[in-house]
Amino acid sequence: MYSYFAYLFVQCKIYPLRSIPMKIVLAYSGGLDTTIIIPWLKENYAGCEVICMAANVGQDSELELVELVKSGNGGLEERAYRSGADKFYMEDIQEEFVTDFIFPMLKMSARYENYLLGTAISRPVIAKRLVEIALRENADSVCHGCTGKGNDQVRFELAIKALAPELDIIAPWRIWNIRSREEAIEYAEARNLPLNVTRENNYSKDMNLWHLSHEGLDLEDLQNEPIYNKDGFLELGVSPENAPAVPAYITIGFDKGVPISLNGAGLNGVELIKKLNQIGGENGIGLLDIVENRLVGIKSRGVYETPGGTILYFAHEALEAICLDRETAHYKAMLSVKYADVVYNGQWYTPLREALDAFVNKTQERVTGEVRLKLYKGNIIKAGLRSPYSLYDEDTASFGEVGEYNVKDAEGFINIFGLPIKSRAILDKEQENNND
What band does 66 get if pLDDT is binned at 50, 70 and 90? Answer: very low
| Tens digit of each residue's pLDDT (9 = 90 or more) over 158-183 | 999 999 999 999 999 999 999 988 89
- Count of other CB atoms within 10 angstroms of residue 310: 22
CA 23 to chain centre: 30
State the first-to-last Cα distance of the chain, in angstroms, to the nearest integer: 92
Of the residues 140, 152, 168, 206, which is catalytic? 152
**In 26-98, alpha helices (H):** 32-44, 61-70, 76-82, 94-97
Of the residues 61, 109, 122, 204, which is catalytic? 204
**Beta carbons of 13 and 142 less than 8 angstroms apart:** no
Q: In Å, how far are 16, 45, 49, 140 from 4, measured between CA atoms?
A: 16, 9, 18, 20
**Beta carbons of 48 and 6 less than 8 angstroms apart:** no
CA distance linking residue 133 with residue 135, whole number of Å: 5
204 in active site: yes
Of the residues 33, 140, 168, 206, which is catalytic? 33
| Tens digit of each residue's pLDDT (9 = 90 or more) over 121-161 | 999 999 999 999 999 999 999 999 999 989 999 999 999 99
| Domain covering 212-324+367-386: architecture | Alpha-Beta Complex (3.90)
Supply the pLDDT for residue 400. Answer: 63
| Tens digit of each residue's pLDDT (9 = 90 or more) over 360-410 | 999 999 999 999 999 999 999 999 999 999 999 987 776 665 567 788 899
* pLDDT at 82 exceeding the cut of 60: yes
pTM greater than the 0.85 cutoff: yes
* pLDDT at 242 exceeding the cut of 90: yes
| Domain covering 4-201: architecture | 3-Layer(aba) Sandwich (3.40)
Percent of the chain with pLDDT over 90: 81
Of the residues 29, 79, 122, 123, which is catalytic? 123
152 in active site: yes
| Tens digit of each residue's pLDDT (9 = 90 or more) over 278-320 | 999 999 999 999 999 999 899 999 999 999 999 999 999 999 9
Structural domain spans, the chain: 4-201, 212-324+367-386, 396-430
Supply the pLDDT for residue 16. Answer: 56
**Beta carbons of 237 and 375 less than 8 angstroms apart:** no
The half-sphere exposure of 324 on its side-chain side, counting CA atoms within 13 A, is 25
CA distance linking residue 37 with residue 175, whole number of Å: 11
| Tens digit of each residue's pLDDT (9 = 90 or more) over 316-333 | 999 999 999 999 999 999
